[in-house]
Structure 1
Amino acid sequence: MLNAYLFYQDTCEAAFNYYAKVLGGKVDAMMRASDAPADMAAAPGREKTIMHARMSLPDGSVLMASDAPGEQFHKPQGFSISFTVADPAEGERKFNALADGGSVTMPYGKTFWAKGFGMCVDKFGIPWMVNCPADGM
Structure 2
Amino acid sequence: MQFIPTIYLPGSCAAAISFYRNAIGAQLLSQLTAGPDSQNPGAEPKIIRAAMRIGEGVIYLSEGHHAAPAAFQGFSLALNVADHGEAERAMQALADGGTVQFPLRKTMLADPFGKVIDRFGVHWSVEVPVS
- Structure 1 and Structure 2 fold alike (TM over 0.5): yes
Which runs of no fewer than 5 residues in structure 2 stay unpaired?
none
Task: Please give the TM-score of this superposition, normalised by the length of structure 1.
Answer: 0.83
1:23-59 CA deviation, whole Å, 9 max, x = no partner? 2221112222218xx58x66843x32211111123x3
Which runs of no fewer than 5 residues in structure 1 stay unpaired?
none
How far apart in 1 are the matches of 2:125 and 2:116?
A: 7
1:64-121 CA deviation, whole Å, 9 max, x = no partner? 11012214x4411110011101212101110111011111111112223311111111
Residue number in structure 2 paired with 1:132: 128
Task: Count matched residues.
Answer: 129
How far apart in 1 are the matches of 2:42 and 2:74?
A: 32
Alpha-carbon RMSD across the aligned residues, in angstroms, is 2.0
Residue number in structure 1 paired with 2:97: 101
1:51 is the counterpart of 2:52: no
How far apart in 1 are the matches of 2:41 and 2:4?
A: 28
Residue number in structure 2 paired with 1:32: 33
Preserved contact between residue 92 and residue 116 of structure 1 (Cα < 8 Å)? no
1:85 is the counterpart of 2:81: yes
How far apart in 1 are the matches of 2:100 and 2:41?
A: 36
- Secondary structure of residue in 1 paired with 2:14: helix
Residue number in structure 1 paired with 2:72: 76
How far apart in 1 are the matches of 2:57 and 2:12?
A: 21
